[in-house]
Amino acid sequence: MKLITKIVTMMLLLSTTILTASEDFKLLNDMKFAQNQQALLLKMSQELKATPLNQESFKALQAEFENILTGLSYGDAKMNLNGATLTEISIKLSEVQALWKKEKALLNATDNKQAIDGVKRVMVKMDEAVTLYTKSYTRYQQNSKFSSLVGRYMTRQTEPMLAFNIVL
C-alpha cells in the first residue's frame, strides 16, 4: 500500500511539472504516456482485487498497456509516440517488456494474490522508466536555459571597449 501511495504521489508531482513543459521536448508525449502506464497498472491491480473479476475489462487494460508499451519502445504515429531514442530509456523499457511478458503469462494462470504481486513488480520497473524520462526532461530544461543565456550574451550589442594606459 505504501508503494502505491508513493507512486500516486510521484505521478501527481510529475504531472504538475509537465503542465508547464515546453512543446520542443520531443519525448514529452512519451513521458505522459509512460505516466499513464502507471495508472493502467493501478487499474489492473484494482480489477484483480475486485471479487468477481471482470475478464473483459481486465483484458482491455492489458491490451492497452501492451499497445502503449510497444509505442513507447518503437514509436507509434497514431498515438504520436516517438519511441525510445535515449539508450537508458530504451534499455529500461526493454526490461519492462521482458518482465511484462513473464508476468502476463502468470496473470492468466495464477490466483489474484500472485497476479497483484506481478503487477506491482511491473509497476516498479515502469516507475524507473518514468524517472528516467523525468531526468531527461530536467536535463533538457537545464540545457535550454543555458542555451538561452549563452544566446542572449552572444547577440547583445555592446559598445567597443577601449583600453587606456595611463603612464605617470
Would you say residue 16 has pLDDT above 60?
A: no
Would you say residue 165 has pLDDT above 80?
A: no
Q: Which pLDDT tens digit goes with each residue over 99-141?
A: 999 988 888 766 778 888 889 999 999 999 999 988 988 888 8
Count of Cβ atoms closer than 10 Å to residue 137 Cβ: 19
pTM, 2 dp: 0.70
What's the rounded Cα separation, in Å, for the pair 153 and 159? Answer: 13
Q: CB neighbours of 43 closer than 8 A, spacing ≥ 6?
A: 61
Q: CB neighbours of 121 closer than 8 A, spacing ≥ 6?
A: 99, 103
Q: Which pLDDT tens digit goes with each residue over 32-53?
A: 999 999 999 999 988 888 877 7
Would you say residue 18 has pLDDT above 50?
A: no
Rg (CA), the chain: 23
Domain 2-142 CATH assignment equals 3.90.550: no
Q: Which pLDDT tens digit goes with each residue over 67-87?
A: 999 999 998 889 888 888 888
Helices of type H across 50-111: 55-74, 87-109
Closest CA to 136 of 26, 47, 10, 15: 26
Domain ranges of the chain: 2-142
Count of Cβ atoms closer than 10 Å to residue 68 Cβ: 19
Of 121 and 156, the structure prediction assigns the larger pLDDT to 121
Would you say residue 153 has pLDDT above 80?
A: no
